[in-house]
Structure formats: C-alpha cells, structure tokens
Chains A and B, each alone.
Chain A
Amino acid sequence: MKYSGKTHKFGNDINTDEIIPARYLNTTDKAELAKYCMEDVDKTFAAKVRPGEIIVAGKNFGCGSSREHAPIAIKASGVSCVIAESFARIFFRNSINIGLPIIESKEASEKIKNGDSVSVDTAQGVIKNLKTKECYKIEKYPPFMQKIVSAGGLINSIKKGSKK
C-alpha cells in the first residue's frame, strides 16, 4: 500500500486518553469520535487534519486504555497511517484489527519534522521524506498479521477463513 501526505508530529507516550478523551466514549458514531481526535494533546487537530495526512509520533504511541475508539477516531479523521518509534500493544492490535495502517520506525520517528510531506510504500518497505529527500527503511508485518491486514481487518479475515 502507498500513502502520502503532510505530517502531524507528536511526542512520546501519547495515550488513548489524549487521542480520544473518555468524556466522548458514550457513542459508537465514528464521525462523532473523529471530531474530538487528539483533543487533549492538540485541540486544533481535528479541525486542521486533511484526508490522507500522516501522524508521526515517538515511543509507546497509544498507551493506556484498550478503547478501540482511539484508532477508530484517527482513521475516521482521515489520517492515512501512523508512524511511531513504537506502539503500545493494545493500540497496535486494534489498529491491525480495524485496518488502520501503523508503521514502526525509530529513524522516521526521529527525523521527520512536523509539517514535512512524506510518502510511505509498504510493499517496497520504505518511507520517503519528500522535503529532505531522506529514505527510511521499514519492516514488513509478520505473515500472520499481514493476512489480517490484507483481508482488511480481523472480521473480514475470519469471514474469509470460515468460507475456505
């Protein structure tokens, strides 16, 4: 898959309380959740993010609560993928399960600056910084996870499996 867009940069330990505060968890309306995406870390994010743009963050992105509302809010806000040095594990599996592309890269996380335009090519395993012309290598998902991602998420993957 290929994604490209302007980046929004965040720091370390961005937690799910910041991504989607608990006060908004009394709904399953995805568009409604998107309105408050990242509110407690950047109040202006939901209004300024454009479809296809990319979140870049530091270590342990998505730590805290298991709320799937977090990757759902990010996906529904139009963000095409999230690049971080590392992800908290429940956020990681939730993203795989709902089909939000997430990419671990220490180098990209350190070197990409807020507002840089980048392109991501998961098949080639590379992130390009269109501003600085730098390239950062990325690892492919393990085959087990790739199966879920290719099916478009866990539910589709299970449905495919049961039809075999």
Chain B
Amino acid sequence: MGHTITEKILLKHTNLKEIHPGEFINARVDICLGNDITAPFAFEEFDKLGVKKVFDKNRVVLVPDHFAPAKDMKSANQCKKLAEFAKKYSIKNYFEIGKMGVEHALLPEVGLVLPGDLVVGADSHTCTYGALGAFSSGVGSTDLAAAMATGECWLKVPESIKFIFTGKMNKWIGGKDLILHTIGNIGVDGALYKAMEFCGPTIEGLPIDDRLTMCNMAIEAGGKSGIIAPDKTTAKYVKSIKDRRRASLGKYYSSDEDAKYSEVIEYDARKIEPVVACPNLPSNVKPASELKDVSVDQVVIGSCTNGRISDMRIAAKLLRGKKVKSSTRLIVIPATQKVYLECVNEGLAKIFIEAGGVFSTPTCGPCLGGHMGILAEGEKAISTTNRNFVGRMGHPASGVYLSNPAVAAASAIKGRIAHPEEVL
C-alpha cells in the first residue's frame, strides 16, 4: 500500500519504520512559530518546564503581528514579552516591527519554511505552508512551549482527502475562489482532522501565491493541514528567495499512485466563478454576481490569505484611476515589509491612496477585529481575509463577506459587492 505526501513527511520526522493514519506520533519539528497573542502563554508554560534553552535558537520563530504595532498598553506588554524572550534565549528569527510581516506571508518570503518541512505554529493559519509541499499545522500555546523545549510535537497521523481540480480557470478567479468553492461544498467541518491534498492540472498551473491562499484556508474546512506536492513552480519560488534564512532548498515528496484517501473529490475549475462567503461562516458561499444588492461600509485587502504582491497588483489594476465610493472605506494592508516596499516601488501605493484608500503598515489588524479598521454595529465589510464568524471584525452585530482581491477592489469602487467586470 502506498503513502500520501503527508504520511511520508510525517514518517521522516520520526524514528519509526512506518506510520498509518489514526496513529499517534511524537514528531520532530523543523520550525515552530508563535505570535503576540499565542506566544506569551507559551512562555509561561515553557518556564514551567524548567529548561535552560530552546531546542534550537534558529528554529523558533516569533512574530508580533496580530496587535502590532502595539494597539494599546496591554498589547504592548504582550509584544514586549516576545522581544524579551527572544533576547533571553538568543532567538535568531524574531521579527520586530519594521522587519515583520503577517507571519504566514513572512516565513515563506524569507525561506524559513521549505518543501518537506514539518512546521507547527501557535496560529491556526500555519497550514499555509503546505503550499510549498511542507506538512504544517496550527497548534496551541502549550504545544508551542513543548516544541520550543523539546523540538517535538505530538500529532495524530491524519487521513487525507484528495481534491482534484481540472480545467482552465475563468478570468478574475484565484486560489481564493478555488478554496472558498471547496469549503462551500464540504462545509466548515468537511475535512475535520484531515489533510487536504490539492492536485490536478489546475493546481499544477497555479502560481505559488494562489497555492498559499488555498492551503491557508484548509483550517476553515476543519482540516489539520493543506498540502500541494512541490513541483517546478515550487522550486523556482524557493530558489528566487533572496536573503534565505536557511541553507537548504528543502526535500521533495509526493503521494504514491496507490496511496489511500478517505475521499477523492473532483472539481471543474471552468465552472467556478468569483465567489463570496457570506456571514457568518466561511462555508456560506455564493457567486459574487448574485450579491450585487449588498452594500458595504468597508473593504479590507490584505492578511495572510491575500496580502501578497500578486493580490496588491490585482487590486491596483481595478483601482487605477478610479475612486472608492464615498459611502465606503478602503483599507489596504500589504502583508509584509517586502510587499509594502514593492507596492511603493511599483506605484501601487499611489493608486490606492489616490483612489481614496488607506495604505497601512503590515499587521493582522482588522482580520481578527484587532485594530486598524474595526466594524461598528450593523456595518458590513467585504474582505480578502479568511474568517467571517460573528463579531470577527468588530461589533457582534456587524457582518463580513470574504472574497478575492479583485472582487474586493471592485466592491470598493461600487460601494456594494461587485463583480470585477462591472468596473473594467
């Protein structure tokens, strides 16, 4: 019996001869990650373990991104704990503001996560790195503490679901639409505890940024991880990284032809149009073209889901020479300092500002209702982020619609949910 890519990566991170879905393992981690919300709890638990050092000072990553730049005094104290821990334990990969970015956009960009890695992070969107052919999964603060101390994490070997995408994608469709379509189809617990393996001709032709968007949202279907077998596109991306923080170029695994899946689901990409997840679940997916009567008070373009340079370019393409509707606020947040600088150098920042939008330093900010664009009672936003639960972006009686950056930009111009074709 063959094995899936997920099983192969997990096996390589144990001393076992074989592993099977359902079994529990203690696996070695290549990278463990925490942020200003989750790491402070991890530090308290780490202290209880009474160890004198972290397992590897090059493999612990700390990123203050959620409430940073610190939005209030309490948040400042949380961020300070990251800086202090980093100093005390000589953590090499601590990213102070000015160098930081939204963690899941930042780590691939600086080559901290590589194909074949096993990555755990105290943030649910850690599953993003599956786009590079790594096993990566969100865990809790106590898990992070244990990983920082021992270099290991306990895991249940997941079953995998294979998602095969065929057919050429329509114009204005991105990885976001493929994953929202998937979540809309299988539900927010449709892949509970499972690895979501994305493959097929459509995926093979998909750029890395779109792959990152897809794997990023595996958690929204309850998945333990999302993964795409690394290929030429992956290799080209990894090799293109300047200032790589790790020497390796990674290890390439792929699923055997006779690997066992709990389910195989096929989608025809030609039938997928720009979609929007309506409040209050990421699975509440409808075509953007059917939501033209939904007015929006705010538009957010950014996050670990869609805050990369390709997302910024798409948004700018629609907003060039246009104005944001007077009844609507546009907030654009490039996910990292690198993306921010590229936006400046390519003239995208100018387009956003001239359109009447806010152009912000990197932060998770509004995505989780932290800061930089909180919704008031009764307000509605369309956002390129990943979640739209009750109160996610602010008041419990506000609502969030999730979309790709083209739909979000078009909606900013129209002041209501709009299909990109309406403005170009």
Contact = CB atoms under 8 A, between A and B. Distances in A.
Interface stretch (A63-71, A119-127, A131-139): A63-71
B390 A17 contact: yes
Interface in B264-285: 281
A40 interface: yes
A86 interface: yes
Interface stretch (B40-48, B288-296, B319-327, B413-421): B40-48
B198 to A, nearest CB: 19
B154 interface: yes
B373 interface: no
A14 to B, nearest CB: 9
B125 to A, nearest CB: 8
A60 B220 CA distance: 11
A47 interface: no
B189 A67 contact: no
A129 interface: no
Nearest to A89: B193
B390 A144 contact: no
Contact of B140 (A23, A59, A94): A94
A97 B143 contact: yes
Contacts of B219: 64, 90
Interface band, chain B = 35 or more
Contact of A159 (B38, B49, B193): B49
A21 B393 CA distance: 10
Contacts of A5: none
Nearest to A88: B222
B387 A66 contact: no
A65 B368 CA distance: 9
B200 to A, nearest CB: 26
Contacts of B37: 22, 25-26, 67, 69
A21 B193 contact: no
Interface in B50-76: 50, 66-67, 71-72, 74-75
A159 B145 CA distance: 12
A65 B139 CA distance: 10
B234 interface: no
Interface residues of A, number: 40
A59 B190 CA distance: 11
A63 B392 contact: no
Nearest to A26: B74
A40 B368 CA distance: 14
A68 B146 CA distance: 14
Contacts, number: 137
Interface in A90-124: 90, 93-94, 97-98
Interface in B372-392: 387, 389-392
A158 to B, nearest CB: 6
B146 A15 contact: no
Contacts of B143: 93-94, 97, 154
A94 B24 contact: no
Contacts of A67: 37-38, 140
Nearest to B370: A22
B189 A69 contact: no
Contacts of A21: 369, 391, 396
B142 A18 contact: no
Interface string A140-151: 001011001000
B192 A88 contact: yes
A63 B189 contact: yes
Contact of A66 (B50, B139, B369): B139
Nearest to A43: B396
Contact of B387 (A26, A64, A89, A153): A64
Given A97-B140, A97-B142, A155-B142, A18 B391 contact: yes
Given A63-B189, A66-B138, A98-B140, 5 more contacts: A22-B369, A26-B78, A66-B123, A68-B41, A97-B143
Nearest 10 Cβ contacts at the A-B interface: A144-B24, A94-B140, A26-B74, A60-B189, A97-B142, A68-B140, A66-B124, A68-B141, A22-B368, A66-B138
15 contacts: A13-B188, A17-B368, A22-B368, A23-B369, A27-B78, A28-B41, A40-B396, A65-B124, A66-B123, A66-B138, A67-B140, A93-B139, A97-B146, A148-B154, A159-B48
